[in-house]
Amino acid sequence: MLDKLDALQQRASAALEALTDLAALEAWHAQYLSRRGELTQLLRSVGQLPPQERPGAGQRANELKTALEAAYERRQADLKRQARTQALTAERVDVTLPGRPPSLGRLHLSTQALRRIYAIFADMGFQVYRAPDVETDELNFELLNMPPHHPARDMWDTFYTTREGVLLRTHTSPGQIRAMRDYCPEPIRVILPGMCYRYEQVTARSEMMFHQVEGLAVGKHIAMTDLKGTMTEYAHRMFGEGRKMRFRSSHFPFTEPSVEVDMDCILCGGEGCRVCKYTGWLEIAGAGMVHPVVLRNGGYNPDVYSGFAFGMGVERPAMLSHSIDDIRYFFSNDVRFLEQFG
Ligand SMILES: [Zn+2]
């Protein structure tokens, strides 16, 4: 009996040392110390021993039980402490690590250019006037002195909608009529920014959609010199002080007289290069004095009021400033392109 108890003690102690987690510890407890455990079975069998052996064996078995229970509790405490330490290490939050910055959006290059234009014209007293992208033929063409079959319409291949006489605006100029009818007979100083649409072949030089900024000033005694001064101030603020300006006569149905506004080439400074087609000049706007017919369509008497208007692109100047050689990048949504202009 005593040999059995010694053997049990050795096996139980070795097993207790070897186990490494709480589940194994519980299994160990069940094997040796539970009601059906090996030690309990031995204790029960003490009663079947010859009387002279019982006290020694009983005492030895009880000592062993106490010893194993104490060892069990120590081991349990050890394992719990170990488990907690492991959990703390594994789930540790390193407060010294720098935070992960959220990925920030940024303004589209066209929006950046538009905002610079707004700021420059705001300083000259121009308000932003919003007009719709979907227009009527009447506002897009007719009231701007382009009746049906007018040859100037050939300049634009147009997106017509399925509804008769409704189209995507080909320019921001219909906003001129809307602004005049809103403000008449007050004087006007507005810019009309927005997207324009033309059913054109898309190439590196031309997109089927692009931004324009239209400008309109109407009042008494507005003269060509006001237009020239405004355009010159804009070019100096946008492209650099001291830029040379040139006003070339031109034709638009809704202005009379009409001019093309040129600026000396920002790449070659007027020497002549590939971008300015070796002329030394870059066209930055079309402009002119508001045609009397258009003034009248807006509600103003052309014998009393006069005005000037201009229209300019937004993407083309941005292409020049940033040496971008393909306008299609602007709306192709390639983040690698957009991220370069934070
Ligand atoms: Zn040039």
pLDDT tens column, 232-261: 999 999 999 989 999 999 999 999 999 999
Return the higher-pLDDT residue of 93 and 259.
259
Q: Map tokens 């946008």 to a residue.
A: 238
Q: Ligand 1 centroid vs 126 CA: distance in angstroms?
A: 31
Residue 258 in contact with residue 286, Cβ under 8 Å? yes
Report residue 166 as tokens.
């409704």
**Ligand 1 centroid to 257 CA: how many Å?**
27
**280 alpha carbon – ligand 1 mean position (Å):** 5
Q: How high is the mean pLDDT of the chain?
A: 90
For residue 153, pLDDT over 80 is answered with no
pLDDT band with cut points at 50, 70 and 90 for residue 100? confident
Q: Could you tell me the distance, in angstroms and rounded to a whole number, from the CA of residue 266 to the centre of ligand 1?
A: 7
Q: Distance from the CA of 269 to the center of ligand 1, in angstroms?
A: 6
CA of 186 to the centre of ligand 1 (A): 42
- pTM for the whole structure: 0.69
**241 CA distance to ligand 1 middle (Å):** 17
pLDDT band at 149 (very low <50, low <70, confident <90, very high): confident
Residue 150 corresponds to which tokens in the numbers above?
Answer: 């007018």
How confident is the model over 264-274, as pLDDT tens digits?
Answer: 998 888 898 88
Ligand 1 is an ion; residues with CB less than 5 A from it: 265, 267-268, 273, 276
- The pLDDT assigned to 92 comes to 82
Model confidence at 199, pLDDT cuts 50, 70, 90, reads: confident
How would residue 152 be classed by pLDDT, with cut points 50, 70 and 90? confident
CA angle 292, 259, 177 (to 5 degrees): 40
Contact status, residue 208 vs residue 198, Cβ threshold 8 Å: yes
229: tokens are: 């001064």
Task: Output the CA 313–ligand 1 centroid distance in Å.
Answer: 18
Average pLDDT for 142-170 = 86
Distance, CA 25 to ligand 1 centroid (Å)? 86
pLDDT, mean of residues 76-92: 88
Question: Could you read off the pLDDT of 53-73 as tens digits, one per residue?
Answer: 888 888 888 888 888 899 899
Q: What separation in Å is there between the alpha carbon of 12 and the centre of ligand 1? A: 94
Show the DSSP H helices in 103-171 as ranges: 109-123, 137-140
Instruction: Specify the pLDDT at position 233.
Output: 96
Instruction: Say whether pLDDT at 295 is over 90.
Output: yes
Per-residue model confidence (pLDDT) at position 257: 96
CA of 233 to the centre of ligand 1 (A): 21
Report the share of the chain in percent with pLDDT over 70.
Answer: 100
The mean pLDDT of 105-131, rounded to a whole number, is: 95
